[in-house]
A and B are shown apart, each in its own frame.
Chain A
Amino acid sequence: MSSSSSSVAVPRTGRGLHRFANPGRFLRIAAKIQPWLTASAILALVPGLIWGLFFSPADWQQHDAVRIMYVHVPAAWLASLGYFGIAVASLVGFVWRHPLADLAAVEIGPVGAAFTAICLVTGSLWGKPMWGTWWEWDARLTSVLVLFFLYLGHIALTRAFDDPERGYRAGGILALIGVVNLPIIKFSVDWWNTLHQPASISLTGATMASSMLDPLLLCTLGFNLTFAAIVLARIRAAVIEQRIRAQLMARASSSAGDAA
């Protein structure tokens, strides 16, 4: 955490960022934000889900199965948003060696992967009544599956080093390769899909009535706030974990010094 010491010259562009590089200051600010974030996440998510799952109109074609949308679509948006978040955090960690950005990139990983898994599972559950099969090699399902693998690779890589700093660097490089390749992978899967499956059922194209759009937007807000609240809590836990480890190391080395 040397970047918070005043003796290090801070580049002009990073000065605003480095104000939040001090873990102590981050913990103080985050502790104030956390209850509000968690409360607003619950306040948006619970009514949104109840509205969408019980009180929104059923679709004339898909009947009650359309209600999966209120979980599936926000999860799908967060799946790609989360990976983008990892890439942005990695870039900040790379360019400015920002310690909290590195931690954020590592901590977003499992949360994003969980939302991607939710997206895949609900997509599969939605596919059963709609397409008559648990898994359709639909372009979007397939590209989300590849995205899920990218998440898992990032998670496995960042945790595979004894020195966490090395894990941050390696994970950062992987996330940046992944994020520039993501549009190409998406394109290739779309292209592959049209090549092999010209007559796939499309769920888009129909415009949505506001009686369904409103609960969807509330659910999306709720999912986003939940994502942010979990990530913030994970970063706080990681900072505290780092501190505890540093204190234990210091104590162990000082007692070893006494013994010697």
Chain B
Amino acid sequence: MKAFFPLIGRELGLAMRHGADTVAALLFFVVVAVLFPLAIGPEPGALGRMAPGIIWVGALLAALLPLERLFGADYEDGSLDLLLLSGLPPALIGLAKAISHWLTTGLPLIVIAAPIAVMLHLPSASMLPLLVGLLPGTLTLSLLGTAGSAIILGARRGAVLLPILVLPLATPVVIFGASGADPGSLPAAKLQSLLLESAFFVFCLPLCPIAAGAGLRAAGE
């Protein structure tokens, strides 16, 4: 348990050192979001209605980008074995990795989603629901992604495999998240979406680290 916070610190330190990797995911998100008006057309009404969907799908894909390296580097250079020997339960290693993934990817995505939403003409009444909804949503994506990236350790073509595994499981996040910021829905319906999305996060909170831990243990054998 003592190693839990130092592990998060180590991950953050590594992310700082490889700053370009962290920024790449954000840049990807911005570029994807900018491509949509180019493809759909600049009409504000249509863009505003699609903005939550664009931002959610973009955030989902951007959150997947750094996942392959989440355990991959540790697996290749052997530090994963040391982590497993450190006495920290594998599930907590998974949780620490998920937290660090969220801090380096999910949190910046929420911050950058606000200007993107303005550029996509999202009605201002939907702005706060979108950003609040992204909080449990990105957390859930980090958890699901951590479990997925622990499972694919040592697999051939793991980077291609990861989205196929994680995206179907993320269906509820996209549905609840995007409908929570839908400009056409009532405040009560938005709140309902947010609560359901949070419930899914709470459900994933114990499940995904345990699954990630099982995957790590299998990889360490």
A residues lining the B interface (CB < 8 Å): 146, 149-150, 152-153, 156-157, 160-163, 166, 169-170, 173-174, 176-178, 180-181, 184-185, 187-189, 191-192, 195
Given A161-B155, A162-B156, A188-B175, 17 extra CB contacts under 8 A: A157-B165, A160-B156, A160-B158, A161-B154, A169-B215, A170-B155, A173-B211, A173-B218, A177-B147, A177-B207, A184-B200, A184-B203, A185-B169, A185-B171, A187-B172, A191-B196, A195-B179
Q: Cα distance A192–B147 when bound, in Å? A: 25
Query: What distance in Å separates the Cβ of B196 from its nearest Cβ neighbour in chain A?
Result: 8
Q: Cα distance A161–B189 when bound, in Å? A: 45
Q: Is the CB of A192 within 8 A of B175?
A: yes
- State the majority secondary structure of interface residues on B: helix
- Chain B residues in 8 Å Cβ range of A185: 168-169, 171-172
- Chain A residues in 8 Å Cβ range of B208: 177
Given contacts A189-B175, A192-B179, contact A153 B165 (CB under 8 A): yes
Count of A-B residue pairs with CB < 8 Å = 83
Q: Is the CB of B168 within 8 A of A146?
A: yes
Q: Cα distance A180–B169 when bound, in Å? A: 10
- Chain A residues in 8 Å Cβ range of B179: 192, 195
Query: What distance in Å separates the Cβ of B76 from its nearest Cβ neighbour in chain A?
Result: 15
B166-192 at interface with A (beta carbon < 8 Å): 167-169, 171-172, 175-176, 179, 185, 189
- Chain A residues in 8 Å Cβ range of B154: 161, 163, 166
Q: Which residue of A has the minimal Cβ distance to B197? A: A188
Q: Cα distance A169–B211 when bound, in Å? A: 11
Given contacts A166-B154, A169-B218, A184-B203, contact A149 B175 (CB under 8 A): no
Given contacts A166-B218, A185-B172, A191-B175, contact A157 B203 (CB under 8 A): no
